[in-house]
Every structure is written in C-alpha cells, then in structure tokens.
Amino acid sequence: MEFNQPLKVNRRQFLLRSALTAGGIISTNLVSKSQVFAQAPGIITSEKMRPRIPYGVASGDITENNVVIWSRSDRPAKMIVEYSTNESFRNVQRIAGPDALKNSDFTARLNLKNLPPNQQIFYRVIFQDLNYQNTYSAPVTGTFRTPPKYGRDIFFVWGGDTAGQGWGINPDFGGMKIYETMRKLQPDFFIHSGDNIYADGPIQSEVLLDDGTTWRNLVTPEKSKVAETLAEFRGNYKYNLTDENIKRFNAEVPMLAQWDDHETTNNWYPGEILLNDDRYTVKDVNLLAKRGRQAFLEYMPIQYTDDPDKTKIYRSFEYGPLLDIFMLDERTYRGPNSPNRQPEPSPKTDFLSGKQVQWIKRQLLSSKATWKVIASDMPLGLIVRDGATDFEAWANGNGPALGRELELADLLRFIKYKNIKNVVWLTADVHYAAAHYYDPNKAQFKDFKPFWEFVAGPLNSGTFGPNELENTFGPQLKFQSIPPGTKANRPPSEGLQFFGAVKINSNTKVMTVSLRNLAGKTVYSVDLPPES
C-alpha cells in the first residue's frame, strides 16, 4: 500500500508534536482511561499505555526516487512517517501510513516516493494507538541517502547467512558485530544475499568451543526448535532484530533482501516432503515455505502487496546512471534437487524458471547503467551438494552444461550475443569469501563473455568450505578466504566472518570489489575497468 500525500508541517507544529509524542508533556493527575484520552492528542499518563517499537526501523528496496520504510508496533496502531532533508527535521513532511494489525504481526511499511536525488533523508516512525487515538509511541529515527543522478561515488556492501549453525546473539562477544563493522563504513545500501534467518537451526543457550571456553547465546522459545508455525517463523526474524548491532545497521543502511533455503528449511524445493527429519511434525515443505515466505515479506523492508503469494522476490533496482541491481529468486520456482544431469531443459531442470529467465534477459537488455550487478543467492560454479547424489545449486560437476546449468548457459549466451557489458555476479551461501573469474577459454561450455563472480559471508554464522569448483563455465579461483582442510562450522569468535564491498568511481567508472573480514580489514581487492 502506498501513501504519497505528504502533509507540510511547520517547525512550531513539529516541535509541539515531538514533545507530545516523545513524552515531553505527561499528565500525572488523570485517573481514568476516559479522562486520559479526552485530553489533547499526545497527552498520556503512563509509558505502559504508549505503543512501542521493539525492533527499530528499517529502509529498503531503494531506487532512484523511492524507498520503503518498515517498522513494527507492539499493538494495533497506525504507522506515521515524518521525513526531512535536515537532521533537525526542519520543513518536515508527514505521511499517515497503513495500520499495523495482528494479521501482519503488527508490522507495517510505507512507500516514500518522489524523493530528491543525492540527498541524505532523515525520518522518524511513530505509531498511533488505534484503540486510544490520542496516544502515540515515542519516535524512532532512521536515515538513508537517495541515489545520485551523477557526480557521486557509489559504495555498497553485501553478504548472507545470519545466525546459522547455532551461533546466535552472544552478549559477551558483542552480539552480531559484523553488522556494526559494515555500518561504520557508511554504505549506500546493503544486499542481503539470502539466509536472513535459520528457521531450521535452533539456538542453544551454551555451546562448548574447541578451546574449552563457552559461547553463550541469548535464546527465545521460537529459536529453541525448528520453525513450523507462522509464529515460529516470525520469531526467527524477531530474534535477529533484538541484536543492537542489526537495529543500528537497519536504521542507517537500506536493504535489498532476497531469500534462500534457511528462511524455510535446509535445501528445500517445492513439493518436497520431509520424510527423514524427525524434528518436524509438519512434513509438507510447501506449507512450511508458505509460512516462511509470509514471515520473510512481513519482516523485510520490501514493497509488496497484501498477498504474499503474488509478491515477487525477484526484482530490479536502478541506482543512478552507474548501477542497476537485479535480485534473483532461486528458491520459489526450482525443480527438485537431483543428480542434475538431464541433457534437455524441462520442469525438472528449472532453477530460475523460464518466466524469470525471460525477465532477467529483458531487464539486462533494457538497462542503461554502466554496471549490471546480478545478486544470486547461490554461487554459479561452486559445487553445493544435497546428500550423496543430489545437488543444491547450479553446478553438478565437471563436464558440459547439463540439468540446471542449461538455464545458466542460455542466460550467459544471451548476454554475449546481445553484447551486454559489465555484468558482475554477487552471491553468498557457502559461508566463506571467494573471487572467481569465469574464462570461456578454460570452460567446457565456451559460448559466453568472461565475467567475475564474488562470494561473501557468513554474517554471524558458522564458517565452512572451501567448496570444489567445476569446469563447466571455466571458473578460475582468484581468492578464497579460508584454506582447504579448515574444520567445519567455525564460530564467529574465530573471526572467519566475511562480507563484500563494492565502490564505483563516479569519474573513472571503475568498480572496485573488496572482500573484508569481521574487523573490516580488506583480505582481497580487485579493480574492474568498465568495458566501453
């Protein structure tokens, strides 16, 4: 739902309302609810009567003049957003947004449109109690910068895999510190490349580490078992949002979010039945995915209709003349995980599906941006297995393009013959960082233009890898963040957490891609000059 009729508020009105909504005027002598709410708007008697905003604010799906503002109330309430180009909120605009109701778990979002380019926007979210309409929450503030028309460098970060393998919020460690590391870099936006939660990964209060010390997690009932009910899926997102690092990050960095498997359950595909996982009483993965999808859309700052089933997770964003971003959905439309060696396309070889492939072709062909970034939640040439014989991602081992790889071969061929320039792939999923250069001269399938793929993660999850590269599309390993033989599931306290960063120089148009560790130190970097 969109609300695009801003109401001009003069400074005196804004300061008065700010005092009221922030609790600056509090009556202490009123004794009954009827008396309390008969007073002027905003006057309240107790903090307990005010709506609360327990999980902060977030922005997302940012494009040239548009952004989605997200938040959650603790009760039925109307979302109100005030915004300004001035941090002191002079010349503030105020938009009354949608109601946060029980059917959306009291989450709400508002689509701000017609924003000025290349401006730092300051906003604040207030919730008005629907039952006592003179009662307002304290405001929670956030900020973001709109994309430039020209003349400004672009800098963004990406990564995936948050709170997996039992590594949750450890106050002794400082919480999910990698989000604070990214925030301090002041990126323009953040691509979360999937596995925003681990719905299939319960969190225990204590984990014994190899050195004899103990990792201590905050725990909640919803994170103490695999998620099956809608409330449990929602509880996984709430768990992450109790981390102060994430809340600060969300308030300052717009997010472009996609999903992968752990938003539902490990390695899932449509139609799967969980025959061999005794943790689940709900065996129908389609039902789990429906609930997981609803929770994902409710808790991510994504523009969507009130019908989660009709909302596409694949979508694109224009970020000025230098950059377009294309977000793929490699989960919703895939065929079953299998040995993935079929010689001809069929529904069993679907990964994106024909409809999504045609969409990305049209988007790439119409893009006028210098750089085209494809955000793929799964890597292209790394082998990701699902059991002893099946495969989870595109790759199925050395040899010609077969199975799901037929879709990828078709897309790469299209990019070559349409001479689409400066396409870079960003991905996550495998819980380490890597840089791969795809060279047709060293590939089994050769009909494509050379390109780069960069892998980043995890973000406060277990570290794994490295995975084996196949030779179908000729990936050449330029960097990987951990050596072969590293013990699986290393905790965040060992520092093997990684995110990626991209800078595009507004003058030279050179794209610099760096891979960085938990402390923010660059462990690999490469400059990519644009093809003219």
| Alpha helix (H) residue ranges in 225-366 | 230-241, 244-252, 285-299, 354-366
Q: What is the pLDDT of residue 292?
A: 98
Q: In what order do the strands lie in the sheet with 154-159?
A: 107-112, 66-72, 57-63, 255-257, 189-192, 154-159, 498-504, 511-517, 522-528
Q: How many CB atoms lie within 10 A of CB 67?
A: 24
pLDDT tens, residue by residue, 172-182? 999 999 999 99
Q: How far apart are CA 322 and CA 158, in angstroms?
A: 18
| 137 pLDDT above the threshold of 90 | yes
State the average pLDDT over residues 350-359: 97
Q: How far apart are CA 377 and CA 354, in angstroms?
A: 18
Q: Are 158 and 498 in contact (CB under 8 A)?
A: no
State the average pLDDT over residues 292-303: 97
Q: Where in the chain is the domain with CATH 2.60.40.380?
A: 7-145
Nearest to 530 by CA among 512, 513, 510: 510
Tell me the backbone φ, ψ of residue 283, rounded to 5 degrees. Answer: -100, -20
Average pLDDT taken over every residue of the chain: 92
Cα 38–chain centre separation: 43
Tokens of 107: 């989450």
Helix (H, G, I), strand (E, B) or coil at 529: coil
Distance (Å) of CA 74 to CA 137, 138, 163, 227, 440: 10, 12, 24, 22, 54
Q: What is the pLDDT of residue 47?
A: 73
Q: Are 92 and 82 in contact (CB under 8 A)?
A: yes
Looking only at the bridges linking them, the beta strands covering 323-327 and 315-318 are antiparallel
Q: What is the pLDDT of residue 4?
A: 43
Q: How far apart are CA 41 and CA 18, in angstroms?
A: 11
Q: How far apart are CA 528 and CA 376, in angstroms?
A: 19
Helix (H, G, I), strand (E, B) or coil at 68: strand
pLDDT tens, residue by residue, 475-505? 999 999 998 889 999 999 999 999 999 999 9
Q: How far apart are CA 105 and CA 294, in angstroms?
A: 10
Q: Would you identify the CATH topology of the domain 7-145?
A: Immunoglobulin-like (2.60.40)
State the average pLDDT over residues 439-453: 98
pLDDT tens, residue by residue, 236-246? 999 999 999 99
Distance (Å) of CA 171 to CA 99, 162, 181, 215, 322: 34, 16, 16, 10, 40
Nearest to 160 by CA among 499, 448, 528, 521: 499
Q: What is the pLDDT of residue 24?
A: 34
Q: What is the percentage of the chain residues whose pLDDT exceeds 90?
A: 87
Helix (H, G, I), strand (E, B) or coil at 296: helix
Looking only at the bridges linking them, the beta strands covering 189-192 and 255-257 are parallel
State the average pLDDT over residues 241-270: 98
State the average pLDDT over residues 425-447: 98
State the average pLDDT over residues 121-138: 97
Nearest to 473 by CA among 437, 438, 427: 438
Residue 353's Cβ-side half-sphere holds a number of Cα atoms within 13 Å equal to 15
44 DSSP assignment? B
pLDDT tens, residue by residue, 9-61? 443 443 444 444 343 322 222 223 332 222 334 444 467 799 999 999 999 99
Nearest to 463 by CA among 480, 436, 486: 486
Query: Is the CA virtual torsion 239, 454, 265, 495 positive or negative?
Result: negative
Q: List the single range of 30-34, 126-130, 317-321, 434-438 with lowest mean pLDDT.
A: 30-34
State the average pLDDT over residues 451-455: 98
Q: How far apart are CA 475 and CA 412, in angstroms?
A: 14
Tokens of 406: 């037929």
Q: How many CB atoms lie within 10 A of CB 529?
A: 10
State the average pLDDT over residues 400-412: 98
State the average pLDDT over residues 185-202: 98
Yes or no: domain 154-528 corresponds to CATH 3.10.129.10: no
Q: What is the pLDDT of residue 20?
A: 41
Q: What is the pLDDT of residue 46?
A: 65
| 222 pLDDT above the threshold of 50 | yes
Q: What is the pLDDT of residue 178?
A: 98
Q: Where in the chain is the domain with CATH 3.60.21.70?
A: 154-528
Tokens of 53: 């905003």
